[in-house]
Structure formats: C-alpha cells, structure tokens
C-alpha cells in the first residue's frame, strides 16, 4: 500500500472520528495537542538545558567568594528561586489542561445525551438506531477526555517529581560550594 493512500486513509478516519464526537471532541484534541506539546518541551528541557542552567547558577554562586554573609544568603535564595522557576515552567498550565480534558469529555457526554433525549421526544419511542449517534457522541467524548487526562496526569506527575529532585540536587550543589 503506498504511503500516500495510507496517510489519506488515516486523515479520513480521523475526520470521521472527530465528526462522531462533535465539537467537544475537537476541543479535547486541541487541548491534547497543547498538553503534549508542553510536556515534550519540558522533557526536552530536562534532557539537556537544565544542566546548563544549573552550571551557570553554580558559577554565579562560586564567583561570590565569601558565602556566609546576609547578602550571600539572599543571592542563594534568589538563585534557588530562579532555578525553581525554570524547573516548573508550564507545570501549572499542564496540570490545568489535564483537569480540563475530563470536563470537556463530560460536556460531550451531556450534549450526546441531549441528542438522545431529543430523538426520544421526536420519535416517541426508544428507537435504538435513532439514538445511536447521540450515545456514540457521549461515549467517544468521555473516553477521549479520560484518555488524554490520564496520560497527561501520569507524565505531569513524573515531571513534578523530576523538578523536585533537580531542585534538591541544585541546593546540595550550592551547599557544597
């Protein structure tokens, strides 16, 4: 199978999936894209630039010479604070997106159930075929919101632990001089 037809088939399947879930599913996909873009940026930071930031801060600390006075302790606090800000950059936004995704899934569930109830009101009976689209919408958006939230939660917790460990290592390195 040529790659071109495979890619077009995937796009067609994705468009059909988004169509079944409606606009709440589009919002969930957009939130997932933003979430994972920030997560990968954080992972990339921990894979490389964090060491360079730490080394620069430690060099600034060592250039002070005397590290016992009040000024030195204030500078130490500032270095720790600046390093901490770099370590947790976008963590709150990541956590917010993780919390929003199940709510968007719930919104899709409510919209899908409203469609089911409208079908029941118009048809006057419980015609399963007529209700299937609304039930599908409710189920798909719930599943998508939960999958994005659970995967994001696992990784965001790991990032938070990694930031705490890096902060502890930095403070130890400052104390060692």
Over the stretch 42-56, which tens digit does the pLDDT of each residue have? 999 999 899 999 999
Rg from Cα positions in the chain = 25
pLDDT less than 70: residues of the chain: 1, 3, 6-7, 65-67, 126, 177
The pLDDT assigned to 7 comes to 66
DSSP conformation letters of 17-86: HHHHHHHHHHHHHHHHHHHHHHHHHHHHHHHTHHHHHHHHHHHHHHTT----SHHHHHHHHHHHHHHHHH
The pLDDT assigned to 66 comes to 64
Over the stretch 61-79, which tens digit does the pLDDT of each residue have? 888 766 678 888 888 899 9
Cα gap 96→85, rounded to integer Å: 17
Give pTM, 2 decimals: 0.80
| Nearest residue to 166 (alpha-carbon basis) of 68, 73, 53, 78 | 53
């Amino acid at each position: 199978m040529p790659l071109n037809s495979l890619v077009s088939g995937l796009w067609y399947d994705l468009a059909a999936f988004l169509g079944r879930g409606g606009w709440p599913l589009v919002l969930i996909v957009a939130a997932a894209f933003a979430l994972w873009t920030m997560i990968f940026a954080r992972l990339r930071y921990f894979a490389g630039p964090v060491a360079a930031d730490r080394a620069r801060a430690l060099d600034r600390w060592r250039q002070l010479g005397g590290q016992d006075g009040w000024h030195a302790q204030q500078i130490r606090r500032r270095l720790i604070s600046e390093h901490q800000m770099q370590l947790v950059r976008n963590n709150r936004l990541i956590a917010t997106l993780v919390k929003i995704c199940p709510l968007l899934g719930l919104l899709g569930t409510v919209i899908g159930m409203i469609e089911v109830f409208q079908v029941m009101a118009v048809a006057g009976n419980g015609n399963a075929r007529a209700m299937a689209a609304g039930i599908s919408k409710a189920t798909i958006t719930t599943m998508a919101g939960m999958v994005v939230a659970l995967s994001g939660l696992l990784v965001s917790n790991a990032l938070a632990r990694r930031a705490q460990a890096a902060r502890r290592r930095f403070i130890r390195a400052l104390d060692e001089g």
